[in-house]
């Protein structure tokens, strides 16, 4: 991590704000090389802001932003002529930074902020409000709560419980600390980081671009990798918690086990349990749950497991000291964790058995394991705010994402292999890539081609290492289902015994079991899980009728899979929760409860869109659905729609208590 000056952090509402960059001292020729290798839209935006000159962002230079099927278009699809002109403009502006010794940038005027965002979005105004939320330099950057909230009558007694110190809990803690409301944070483990603390398995790394995976209020710019390692993300979250002053506030090793809404007092009576098993009861006016969707490990119950003499571990429960060197290792599953684990261990094991039920689809990502380029690192060091502009650019191009590739076409005849002509085209393109990867291994190629449409399940990142791991001489792909364990290994349904020393369950999570392990009793004594009856639903993914002042940050139906940033969703859920609390206090009320009709309407709206997606087809089965078959995990719209629904607390949708 480079030296970070946080002066000015508060003004820019960013705990990573760096007031000054290093001066540019390099030659014209060097600057030409930088412009030749840089991502042009992000660079031009940064240069316009730093020089305070938006006149060179002419309409003919706007990136056309063609939709992304399988690979991103460099420079947002700018033509060769646009690139040539853009580079010449960029070199001139870089020279200005050097010659005028510009090493810092200040808040933009509203007109300049708008001009740059319109340039980046190719004139599309629909993105602007949500982009301003991400732009430190915007005079009206959103996200920060009303700082006078703490002065409202009743505010000093309105204590909020934040559950969890992962991505959600940290966002809530940061924003609450700006409100003046009292709050308590608890975390069941002994550290900060949530899923990134627990998932320390070999090879763990982001499967979305690093720059799309940071908070709008903590825009770290000196990331070492384009797709950060798990450790880097965990380190980032720890730093955010430290810089936001949260770490010392968190009660670690403290688990929420019960919350009962007291209808008379309008407070939650909460029971927590510490590591020693001691229970404590206390009261809070509101609860913000930062419990993750991908938190409860799915470990299949397999006959004979207790007899197995070797070692077993789930990917999300990795323990220090687990060794695989020279061992016979079984990896069960071929999802987002397995595809990182198998390539990371394959060279060290004596045998690798990959147990596959369904093959994964993978998006070509040649640079998946690469560090950021020298050019990128130079730009972050020398061009004021460059890293943040690049983050905004990644965020912007991620808004439409790949929705158009996974949306079904009416009367399409390609089911169950594809859902539309575009989806079929993606299918063929990815299979073409596999033909190269598995050349000379027809038996593996056959196993590698998924039997469901691209996008129906999480698309993984492909830099060829998965195929290489499966093709390694020490690897066997086992497709017969696991039947039972023996003392020495695993027997599959075809009767074959596979002797192994270590079994890695990369078998995913139980994401639809929201708030599992916590008893939540709302109005009228109704328990949350009884209310849900196996089908977790929530208004805006965060509130449930009958459970006032309870807000879930990564609740039902807010997970994005082909577009947008999860952190954006979590931040917006946090902001909505705080706005809801503000509304309660401003009205002199004690509670807010979503009306059942608004809740039903929201769920129906989400369901109708999910049914048109590859993952919503009746012949597809994934963890995106719950036991009832409803897609209960996934947000089927863009971030912009979530921006819209979380912008205001609609009085008609709520009852105030």
The rounded distance, in Å, linking the Cα atoms of 486 and 488 is 5
Q: Which of 339, 326, 294, 292 is nearest to 504 (CA)?
A: 339
DSSP 157: G
Q: How many of the chain's residues bind ligand NAP (CB under 6 A)?
A: 23
- Is residue 458 part of the contact set for ligand NAP (CB under 6 A)? yes
- Is residue 338 part of the contact set for ligand NAP (CB under 6 A)? yes
In the complex with ligand NAP, the residue whose CB is nearer, 423 or 507, is 507
- Is residue 342 part of the contact set for ligand NAP (CB under 6 A)? no
- Three-state DSSP at 609 gives helix
Q: Which of 244, 171, 298, 292 is nearest to 555 (CA)?
A: 292
Among 160, 197, 332, 426, binds ligand NAP (CB under 6 A): 332
Whole-Å CA distances, 424 to 412, 418, 463: 10, 5, 22
Angle 452-454-458 from CA coordinates, rounded to 5°: 100
Among 336, 349, 399, 448, binds ligand NAP (CB under 6 A): 336
CB of 331 to ligand NAP, least distance (A): 9
- Is residue 358 part of the contact set for ligand NAP (CB under 6 A)? yes
- Is residue 482 part of the contact set for ligand NAP (CB under 6 A)? yes
Contact predicate 379/43, CB 8 Å: yes
The rounded distance, in Å, linking the Cα atoms of 286 and 283 is 9
Residue showing the smallest CB distance to ligand NAP in the complex = 335
Encoding tokens for residue 486? 């023996």
Tell which positions 596-625 bind ligand NAP, by CB under 6 A: 623
- Is residue 485 part of the contact set for ligand NAP (CB under 6 A)? no
- Is residue 334 part of the contact set for ligand NAP (CB under 6 A)? yes
Percent helix, strand and coil across the chain, each to the nearest 5: 35, 15, 45
- Is residue 453 part of the contact set for ligand NAP (CB under 6 A)? no
In the complex with ligand NAP, the residue whose CB is nearer, 223 or 623, is 623
Stretch that binds ligand NAP, among 69-77, 336-344, 345-353, 494-502 (CB under 6 A): 336-344
Stretch that binds ligand NAP, among 163-171, 199-207, 281-289, 591-599 (CB under 6 A): 199-207
Stretch that binds ligand NAP, among 112-120, 320-328, 437-445, 507-515 (CB under 6 A): 507-515
Among 17, 127, 158, 355, binds ligand NAP (CB under 6 A): 355
Residues 6+ apart with CB under 8 A from 507: 297, 298, 299, 300, 314, 315, 332, 333
Contact predicate 187/250, CB 8 Å: yes
In the complex with ligand NAP, the residue whose CB is nearer, 13 or 207, is 207
In the complex with ligand NAP, the residue whose CB is nearer, 41 or 455, is 455
Among 70, 507, 577, 625, binds ligand NAP (CB under 6 A): 507
The rounded distance, in Å, linking the Cα atoms of 417 and 620 is 10
**Residue 40 neighbours by CB distance under 10 Å:** 23
Stretch that binds ligand NAP, among 234-242, 333-341, 371-379, 584-592 (CB under 6 A): 333-341
In the complex with ligand NAP, the residue whose CB is nearer, 17 or 318, is 318
The rounded distance, in Å, linking the Cα atoms of 552 and 567 is 14
Contact predicate 509/523, CB 8 Å: no
Binding site for ligand NAP (CB under 6 A): 205-207, 294, 300, 315, 332-338, 355, 357-358, 458, 482, 506-509, 623
């Amino acid at each position: 991590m480079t030296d970070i000056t946080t002066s000015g952090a508060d003004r820019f509402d960013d705990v990573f704000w760096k007031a000054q960059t290093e001066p540019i001292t390099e030659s014209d020729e060097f600057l030409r090389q930088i412009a030749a290798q840089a991502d042009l839209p992000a660079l031009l935006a940064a240069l316009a802001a730093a020089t305070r000159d938006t006149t060179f962002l002419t309409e003919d230079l706007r990136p056309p932003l063609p939709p992304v099927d399988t690979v991103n278009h460099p420079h947002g699809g700018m033509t060769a002529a646009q690139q040539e002109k853009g580079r010449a403009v960029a070199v001139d502006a870089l020279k200005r930074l050097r010659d005028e010794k510009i090493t810092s940038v200040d808040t933009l005027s509203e007109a300049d902020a708008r001009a740059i965002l319109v340039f980046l979005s190719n004139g599309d105004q629909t993105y602007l409000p949500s982009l301003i939320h991400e732009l430190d330099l915007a005079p009206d950057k959103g996200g920060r709560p009303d700082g006078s909230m703490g002065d409202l009558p009743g505010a000093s007694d309105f204590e909020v419980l934040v559950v969890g110190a992962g991505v959600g809990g940290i966002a809530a803690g940061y924003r609450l600390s700006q409100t003046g409301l009292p709050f308590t944070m608890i975390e069941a483990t002994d550290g900060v980081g949530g899923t990134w603390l627990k998932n320390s398995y070999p090879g763990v790394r982001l499967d979305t671009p690093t720059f799309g995976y940071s908070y709008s209020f903590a825009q770290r710019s000196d990331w070492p990798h384009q797709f950060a390692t798990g450790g880097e993300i965990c380190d980032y979250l720890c730093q955010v918690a430290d810089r936001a002053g949260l770490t010392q506030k968190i009660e670690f090793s403290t688990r929420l086990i019960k919350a009962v809404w007291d209808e008379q007092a309008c407070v939650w009576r909460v029971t927590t349990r510490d590591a020693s098993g001691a229970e404590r009861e206390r009261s809070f006016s509101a609860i913000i749950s930062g419990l993750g969707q991908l938190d409860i490990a799915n470990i299949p119950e397999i006959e004979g497991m207790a007899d197995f003499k070797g070692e077993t571990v789930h990917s999300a429960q990795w323990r220090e000291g687990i060794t695989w060197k020279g061992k016979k290792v079984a990896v069960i599953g071929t999802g987002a964790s397995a595809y990182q684990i198998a390539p990371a261990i394959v060279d060290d094991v004596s045998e690798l058995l990959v147990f596959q039920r369904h093959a994964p689809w993978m998006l070509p990502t040649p640079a998946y394991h690469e560090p950021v380029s020298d050019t990128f690192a130079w730009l972050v060091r020398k061009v004021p705010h460059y890293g943040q502009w690049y983050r905004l650019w990644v965020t912007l191009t991620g808004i439409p994402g790949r929705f158009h590739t996974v949306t079904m076409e009416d009367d399409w005849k390609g089911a169950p292999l594809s859902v539309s002509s575009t989806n079929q085209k993606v299918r063929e393109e990815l299979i073409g890539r596999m033909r190269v990867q598995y050349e000379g291994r027809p038996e593996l190629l056959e196993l590698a081609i998924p039997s469901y449409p691209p996008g129906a399940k999480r698309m993984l990142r492909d830099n060829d290492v998965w195929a290489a791991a499966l093709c390694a001489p020490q690897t066997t792909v086992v497709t017969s289902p696991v039947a039972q364990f023996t003392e020495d290994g695993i027997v599959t349904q075809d009767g074959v015994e596979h002797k192994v020393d270590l079994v890695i369950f990369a078998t995913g999570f139980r994401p639809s079991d929201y708030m599992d392990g916590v008893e939540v009793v709302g109005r009228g004594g109704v328990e949350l899980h009884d209310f849900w009856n196996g089908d977790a639903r929530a208004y805006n993914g965060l509130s449930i009728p009958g459970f006032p002042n309870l807000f879930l940050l990564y609740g039902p139906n807010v997970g994005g899979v082909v577009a947008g940033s999860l952190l954006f969703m979590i931040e917006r859920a946090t902001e909505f929760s705080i706005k809801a609390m503000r509304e309660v206090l401003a009205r002199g009320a004690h509670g807010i409860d979503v009306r059942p009709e608004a809740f039903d309407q929201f769920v129906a709206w989400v369901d109708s869109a999910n049914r048109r997606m590859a993952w919503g087809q009746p012949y597809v089965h994934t963890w995106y659905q719950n036991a009832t078959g409803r897609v209960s995990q996934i947000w089927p719209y863009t971030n912009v729609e979530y921006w819209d629904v979380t912008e205001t607390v609609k009085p008609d949708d709520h009852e105030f208590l």
